[in-house]
Amino acid sequence: MKHIQSSKTIVIPAGVDVKIKARKVSVSGPRGKLERDFRHVHLDIEKIGRHKILVRKWFGVRKELSKIRTVSSHIENMIKGVRQGYRYKMRSVYAHFPINVTVHENGSLVEIRNFLGEKFLRRVRMPEGVTAVISTAQKDELYIEGNDLEAVSGAEFEGRTKAWRLCEGGVKAGVID
């Protein structure tokens, strides 16, 4: 059954500026600026006043209406990213061979050495806007930080799977959160 109109409203907090033009959303705040293109989704995205965004779908069926919540969540994640940022924590876990994790090039390159006693060096390049920092409070802990949630979580996933890409087996011992 088609619904005539469905919508969701997003509140813009103080200190965050949102610009919308032709389903391209640009969010800027104290930590930086994020942009995202939603032209592939057939929704109406408009700014109402200074502190609200309306995401709306006309004459949509159930599967199409689910896109309203998805796009709204992406915009909310962008707003949270430019205000607070995101941080993922990773720990290297080992039983016998100590895994050495080093960060180079101002946090844009992570090197994993001695994984399961191998001599092979694994390198993980961080996406643009994402940095890696070794924790000073906890041994063998790595922080992956940035404003874009998808870039930070993608870098964390890449770091987790890079160690196992050339190994046989599965997650037994290694880079685990």
Residue 58: beta bridge partners? Answer: 5
The band of 132, judged by pLDDT with boundaries at 50, 70 and 90, is: very high
For residue 154, is it left (φ>0), alpha (ψ between -120 and 50) or beta?
alpha
110 touches 58 (CB < 8 A):
no
Which CATH architecture group holds 3-83? Answer: Alpha-Beta Complex (3.90)
Q: Is the pLDDT of residue 167 over 80?
A: no
pLDDT at 169: 52
Per CATH, 3-83 and 86-176 having the same topology is answered yes
59 touches 4 (CB < 8 A):
yes
145 touches 131 (CB < 8 A):
yes
Residue 17: what residue type? Answer: D
Give the contacts of 176 (CB within 8 A, at least 6 positions apart). 91, 93, 160
* Four-way CATH pick for 86-176: 3.30.70.20, 3.90.930.12, 1.10.1040.10, 3.30.70.260: 3.90.930.12
84 touches 170 (CB < 8 A):
no
Q: Write down the domain spans for the chain.
A: 3-83, 86-176
pLDDT at 177: 41
Say what the pTM is: 0.84
Q: What share of the chain in percent tops pLDDT 90?
A: 68
Q: Is the pLDDT of residue 175 over 80?
A: no
pLDDT at 97: 87
d(CA 163, CA 82): 31
98-126 confidence digits (pLDDT tens): 889 999 999 999 998 988 888 888 888 99
pLDDT at 62: 92
Q: Is the pLDDT of residue 164 over 70?
A: no
pLDDT at 165: 55
58-101 confidence digits (pLDDT tens): 999 999 999 999 999 999 999 999 999 999 998 888 888 888 99
85 touches 33 (CB < 8 A):
no
9-45 confidence digits (pLDDT tens): 999 999 999 999 999 999 999 999 999 999 999 999 9
**Across 157-161, average pLDDT:** 77
More confident residue, 130 or 160: 130
Neighbours of 127 (CB within 10 A): 14
More confident residue, 34 or 164: 34
